[in-house]
């Protein structure tokens, strides 16, 4: 057997493709993935695959050609832009005498480098172990040895492979228990936000579309952002005030990519739940990407996989500074009901239009009116201020207050259930006898 290099810095890329479907953009994205993992791409090799070879995935001739390229280029790592079976991966390693990593393994390696939070590290390790569990026979001959031999060292007769599989299965169960606990905590936090009636707006999109840069521009946060794939993994949430629809919680989530490994989607289910449980999705799209329509379709597939297709969307075309101004439409027509907004997160252009689009979606149903509160209703007054529902306030001579309320229905209605008659007082003031809101869109109150 060969000695596996642990450097992994000089990578030879193998790009399988169906007949007549060779796409240089796909290869360039894979090269960018390799560079994001810290590898130096020393060469590429395309391989037409009519029917996957059960031994090497590619044909025998192409596998021999891959071996020759590896020697000539002095590569210590072969990256294959496709999922390989354990047998195919092991056979390619044996033939080329070089470490072979498929697309899933490469993405998992990048995620392992990027994870910062405790939850993120647990999620990545779980996905890695599930991927590794089928690859324990990759050529280490010691895995076939049985314990035993000298007196005092004889074991139960398990092979090293069986021991490793058992230990790995135990570790997977342990990680799953820890992640279940973290997911419970996240669910409690989401329920707390629901009780506070703050709508959640989640940023989603293809990796490197500029989600974190946009998040920083909208919130003033300092989330790590870089021009690389999967720059950030861990979700970050910030409250935003000052929108016409009232305060919101903005969530930055992990970026998507084509052929995202299913194990990774499963491992990151609690992180992706921020998108699945959001009230609105800001689908961030790289406006300068010539393949942006394909990227949108890839993101939609992942959203369907996590059950988030029915959530309202705003399509945010980012990086408008990189394209010709004539290519930006004068109007923003809807695409299947989703408003379209053009912005530059880096230059902070178009953020006002984006705020208006968010408010238009979340604030379509508003409730407005004047609430007359006696001096004894201080608790309800404080609650209205805390929720950001007060448009104007006047103090009466008797010590009470006249409070103008103008807010989305979803922020006001939870207060109708307040005890001690406060909820009924609020309901009676804001709803007409017919139950319809007394809100007038032409009122100056709406333009506060």
Q: What is the pLDDT of residues 222-232, one digit of tens each?
A: 765 655 566 55
- Residue 289's pLDDT is 87
Instruction: Give the CATH fold of the 10-111 domain.
Output: Rossmann fold (3.40.50)
Please indicate whether residue 364 or residue 292 has the higher confidence score (pLDDT). Answer: 292
Least confident among 133-142, 195-204, 368-377: 133-142
How confident is the model over 345-361, as a mean pLDDT?
89
Q: Is the pLDDT of residue 443 over 70?
A: no
**pLDDT tens across 67-82, in order?**
999 999 999 999 999 9
Radius of gyration of the chain (CA): 28
The residues spanned by each domain of the chain are: 10-111, 115-182, 198-362, 366-447
Q: Is the pLDDT of residue 234 over 70?
A: no
Instruction: Identify the CATH homologous superfamily for domain 198-362.
Output: P-loop containing nucleotide triphosphate hydrolases (3.40.50.300)
* % of the chain with per-residue pLDDT over 70: 75
Residue 352 dihedral angles phi and psi, to the nearest 5°: -65, -45
Q: Is the pLDDT of residue 1 over 60?
A: no
Binning pLDDT at 50, 70 and 90, where does residue 55 land?
very high
Lookup result for tokens 């021991």? 163
Q: E strands of 128-269, at which residues?
A: 200-205, 236-240, 248-252
Binning pLDDT at 50, 70 and 90, where does residue 153 land?
very low
Q: How would CATH label the architecture of 366-447?
A: 2-Layer Sandwich (3.30)
Contact indicator for 90, 110 with CB cutoff of 8 Å? no
Please indicate whether residue 346 or residue 257 has the higher confidence score (pLDDT). Answer: 346
Least confident among 139-143, 265-269, 376-380, 406-410: 139-143
How confident is the model over 247-269, as a mean pLDDT?
74
Domain 198-362 in the same topology as domain 10-111? yes
CA distance 129 to 120: 14
Please indicate whether residue 344 or residue 327 has the higher confidence score (pLDDT). Answer: 344
Most confident of the following: 32-41, 110-119, 146-155, 236-245: 32-41
Return the percent helix, strand and coil in the chain, to nearest 5: 45, 20, 35
How confident is the model over 295-311, as a mean pLDDT?
85
Q: Is the pLDDT of residue 137 over 60?
A: no
Q: Is the pLDDT of residue 58 over 80?
A: yes
- Residue 23's pLDDT is 74
Contact indicator for 290, 327 with CB cutoff of 8 Å? no
∠ CA 124-128-133 to the nearest 5 degrees?
A: 150
- Residue 224's pLDDT is 59
Q: Is the pLDDT of residue 280 over 50?
A: yes
């Amino acid at each position: 057997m060969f000695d596996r290099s642990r450097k992994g810095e000089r990578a030879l890329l193998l790009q399988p493709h169906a007949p007549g479907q060779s796409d240089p953009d796909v290869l360039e994205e894979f090269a960018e993935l390799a560079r994001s993992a810290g590898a130096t791409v020393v060469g590429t090799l395309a391989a037409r695959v009519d029917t996957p070879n059960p031994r090497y995935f590619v044909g025998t001739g192409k596998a021999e050609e891959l071996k020759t390229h590896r020697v000539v280029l002095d590569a210590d790592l072969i990256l294959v832009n496709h999922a390989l079976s354990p047998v195919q991966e092991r056979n390619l390693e044996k033939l080329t005498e070089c470490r072979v990593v498929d697309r899933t393994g490469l993405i998992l390696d990048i995620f392992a480098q990027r994870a910062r939070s405790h939850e993120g590290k647990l999620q990545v390790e779980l996905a890695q172990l599930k991927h590794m569990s089928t690859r324990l026979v990759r050529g280490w001959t010691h895995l076939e040895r049985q314990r035993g031999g000298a007196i005092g060292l004889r074991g139960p007769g398990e092979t090293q492979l069986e021991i490793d599989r058992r230990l790995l299965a135990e570790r997977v169960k342990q990680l799953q228990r820890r992640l279940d606990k973290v997911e419970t905590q996240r669910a409690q936090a989401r329920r707390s936000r629901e009780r506070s009636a703050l709508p959640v707006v989640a940023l989603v999109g293809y990796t490197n579309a500029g989600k974190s840069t946009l998040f920083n521009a909208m919130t003033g946060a300092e989330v790590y952002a870089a021009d690389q794939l999967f720059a950030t993994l861990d979700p970050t949430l910030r409250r935003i005030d000052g929108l016409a629809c009232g305060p919101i919680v903005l969530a930055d989530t992990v970026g998507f990519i084509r052929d995202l490994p299913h194990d990774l989607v499963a491992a990151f289910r609690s992180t992706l739940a921020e998108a699945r449980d959001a009230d609105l999705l800001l689908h961030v799209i790289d406006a300068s990407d010539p393949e942006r329509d394909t990227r949108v379709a890839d993101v939609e597939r992942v959203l369907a996989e996590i059950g988030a297709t029915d959530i309202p969307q705003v399509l945010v075309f980012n990086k408008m500074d990189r394209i010709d101004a004539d290519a930006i439409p004068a109007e923003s027509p809807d695409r299947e009901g989703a408003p379209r907004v053009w912005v530059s997160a880096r230059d902070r252009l178009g953020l006002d239009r984006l705020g208006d689009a968010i408010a238009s979606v979340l604030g379509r149903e508003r409730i407005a009116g004047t609430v007359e509160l006696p001096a004894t209703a201080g608790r309800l007054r404080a609650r209205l201020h805390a929720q950001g529902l007060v448009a104007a306030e006047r103090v009466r001579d008797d010590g009470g207050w006249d409070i103008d309320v103008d807010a989305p229905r979803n922020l006001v209605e939870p207060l109708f259930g307040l005890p001690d008659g406060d909820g009924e007082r609020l309901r009676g003031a804001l709803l007409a006898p017919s139950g319809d809101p007394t809100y007038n869109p032409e009122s100056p109150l709406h333009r506060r």
